[in-house]
A and B are shown apart, each in its own frame.
Chain A
């Protein structure tokens, strides 16, 4: 087997990644992933080397806690056999490689554009003429929604094929949010700019993406984060999880017209994000995570304050959640709605909450632990039904879990390190892969440096990238009126996908 096993956040020399020709690369990846539930692809991307394209693939092995990295050099002139024909979880990755470099995958089921990136290979393709699946039928009709949606949310286009009120098929077209963020990581040379960019990848996962970037940068620079830095990051991540989960529960209530739940959960987010502001000066913790330093040390006084906030939050949240899960009118909308089966979740390579709600155990906090998750001994929350109910239940239980983690964390607040090692420049000719479990799921950032130690490639993968397909599958055979609740129960990121 021609790959190298690395740990999460490990930096290796680029030349140490074994290279194969496409044929053996293909056979190896198929053999690694097919039939192995504990293995899934965390990132598969390409970058230009002269006229050729170098492909890098990272397969995470949850049982051995390792990531298997391999590479292969290909050329646009040659058509390639597609992984997706056998393993659907590569579908989006191969489409992205096709869009960016013009490489053709011959037996790919739908080699359509991903996000109409500004530096795409074929500029004649524009977002206005996306090749939707279409129907020729007297009985069926199409419904188009977007790009601008009815509420205050990000843009995306949804095209439904319906039989009366029933959805037969949903196709999701994204790309409207494309800001060229990966290229900006290379162009903007200051660390402060890059850290700010990382926080802007998805404004609802500021801590998640910020931390992933910090891990990549620190690993490349050989920096060992002190206890107080790790503490701040772990704490902020769990606070972010609570804040977004509770506001998604509010959103779910809105979509089934349950006013009390909408209002109460909606306002319960405020004490959590207001605490983030008390600590970091920003309600979403923008400006908190910076590589190599603890910008806003967590003091004992803050710990006491947070403890007070949680003492009020917890009973209020529990009271509302208990009521919500007891109401027949709520349950009738949640149960058996928007189901994704375990087999489908495995086949599309679902990660994070989307995987866990179908009893697929994927959680980086336990499978590739980082920061303080090893000490917290994290056990993922799993559900079996894969419906809206499971997704809302996971949120409720993860909030309870995060509250327990936070209480445990603030019972032992580390002192600020008296001396912090200096942050050096990144190592030259290196590769680093970092995984973080954001509230949506696994975030993966990869960085490659050139011979001067400058960033050469920065590749971001938000969990939404492959999870969006789960939404499309979940609404099949559901009534179109259930689409909003399905969508909200997943709450995937548009900007995280479009980059």
Chain B
């Protein structure tokens, strides 16, 4: 065995020894994030019109303490609200139920909107936000022409969708 072959063998084995000082293994992680659009309202509201300033229409009843929350990882989302047909549909004649939803940190409120069985936009421009405790108020308006209305309920359906 000549010196050159020995040196070559040494080089190979030195390489093997170096490679052996750290051993590795590889794992492949597959991942994805799906679209998430969730909204919730803190609870029911009870509204009763029971007073008026003399000479004026009855005083509106306004809810208090209702909040809403949202998580969305998408852009350009809006919140709409509507009265469900299953709960009775539109309000009795000469009464109005309106909703005023404060916008989250990213978005714009449309202010108070009268509710019906047709979706009404309350907030738009919501983009990638997770926030809770946002104010929401419901207002019941009744003209004197509505007369007396016995206790009744309506379900309000709030929906997060993509759109202007």
Partners in one complex: no
